[in-house]
Structure 1
Amino acid sequence: MPGELSVDRVVVEDATEASSLYNRGYFGTPRSGGSLELDLLEAVYLVEAERLEVRRGGRAVSARDLFRAAGTAVPSFEILYLVYRDLRQRGYIVESRSGSVDFQVYPRGGAPKKTPSKYWVRALSERAVFDLAELLERAEEAAAVRKTLLLGLVDEESDLTYYNVREALPTGDRPIGTPNEQVVVHFLGDRAVVIDEAQGRALHEAGFFGKMIGRRLQLSLLETAFLLK
């Protein structure tokens, strides 16, 4: 099934073949006249699945050259593709989105124009820097329209983990206990230590602060800052 590469798109002109691709997986966007426009994520996936042949100017484009072209045309293409490919192989219908959400994903058995999408997915490298406040805004937007926001996190070995992003307000009914006497803490670089064994054990037992190492209580800097308040 041939498609013509044009910068950041692949177009399948034959109406019959275009219809087959769209109806068997909802790939691409149908155009007037019966042709089908695929983005490069879809095109690379279909080439890998041996359902599409890509040409440019009448000459065949190899899978390797197509991947390189996609990597040039689409920022973070490799990360996006790994997430897209994984979702497709899990049996989901996936559509690319613009903006701060990369994909919308339909529930199994669902399809565009037939059922609402279920997930919004953002693809990220595990080393990527992101704005947490902006991410929480997207989670609120997703919840407002009954979607689940997922982070598809790709590690250095291309292994993929999905995280459900939602706002949580931790609550508990255990009172925060502290010793009656003031505790002396010694700072040691990136941690703090209570040297007095009695003080250390009292603090640990009062609120499970720190970790007893022998007769000394070791505290993280976060715990120390909290206790100083």
Structure 2
Amino acid sequence: MTGRVAADGTIRIADPAEASATYGRGYFGTPDSNGGLGLDRYDSVYLAEMGRLVGVDARARPVPWPEVFRRSARHDPVFGVRYLVYRDLRQRGYVVRASPPPVAFTVLPRGGVLNKTPSRFWVEAISERAPFDLAHLFELAERAQSAKKTLLLGVVDEESDLTYYRVRRPSPRGALPARRLGTPAEAWLSHDRLVVYDE
């Protein structure tokens, strides 16, 4: 199958039969009114990397998948990290769709049918070296809970290995019995340390 690669790394498959076959095997892309299929950056790079799609330029010359990746990464500074999470989920058999904010991806349960089965997961992708905003993470957790979704945080390490964390806002409850804690002491708070003076 072939599709024309745009400057931003997206690919459009014009042939209706090829478009239908690509969409039908994994719900890749978005069908258009002309029978073609528009692929976002993640779908484009994944299908090209897996050898299921050959990207071509305006002169019908093949564009190798690393070039499709480079074009995508030039237009999205977090594309590389997000693509690793996208690819991992696709290889595990999930239907993954790029999502508008607040999260990177929505993921259907295995065996789910696009536009019929509600998404099960919201997935955010981050590098283990990148700082992240804990308040934003709590907000995402609350929004996911309100939408009845499971929020997953896909963390990519320096070797491009992934670890997934389920994120949810805890609801602490219960009571602790009062205890005598011992001798009172003076302490000094210094940045992230508490210094207790022992006299």
Report the TM-score, using the length of structure 2 for normalisation.
Answer: 0.89
Look up the match of 1:6.
6
Structure having greater relative contact order (Cα 8 Å, sep ≥ 6):
2
- 1:118 and 2:146 matched: no
Look up the match of 1:92.
94
Which stretch shifts more, 121-130 or 133-142? 133-142
Instruction: Give the aligned length.
Output: 196
Measured at CA, do residues 160 and 180 of structure 1 come closer, stay the same or move farther in structure 2, by a change above 3 Å? closer
Q: How many Å apart are 1:69 and its aligned residue?
A: 1.1
Greater fraction of residues in helix: 1
| Mapped partners of 1:179, 1:76: distance in 2 | 48
Look up the match of 2:66.
64
Q: Assess if the C-alpha contact under 8 Å between 1:142 and 1:148 holds in 2.
A: yes
Look up the match of 1:200.
none
Which structure: larger Rg?
1
Report the aligned-residue RMSD: 2.1
Q: Secondary structure in 2 aligned to 1:121?
A: strand
Q: Which runs of 5+ in 2 are unaligned?
A: none
Look up the match of 2:83.
81
Which stretch shifts more, 85-94 or 63-72? 63-72
Report the TM-score, using the length of structure 1 for normalisation.
Answer: 0.78
| Mapped partners of 1:116, 1:150: distance in 2 | 16
Q: How many Å apart are 1:129 and its aligned residue?
A: 2.2
| Mapped partners of 1:142, 1:187: distance in 2 | 36
Look up the match of 1:144.
146
Q: Which runs of 5+ in 1 are unaligned?
A: 197-229
Look up the match of 2:170.
168
Q: How many Å apart are 1:192 and its aligned residue?
A: 3.7
Which stretch shifts more, 12-21 or 57-66? 57-66
Q: How many Å apart are 1:147 and its aligned residue?
A: 0.7
Q: Secondary structure in 2 aligned to 1:152?
A: strand
| Mapped partners of 1:185, 1:141: distance in 2 | 39
- Percent identity over paired residues: 48
Q: Assess if the C-alpha contact under 8 Å between 2:185 and 2:196 holds in 1.
A: no
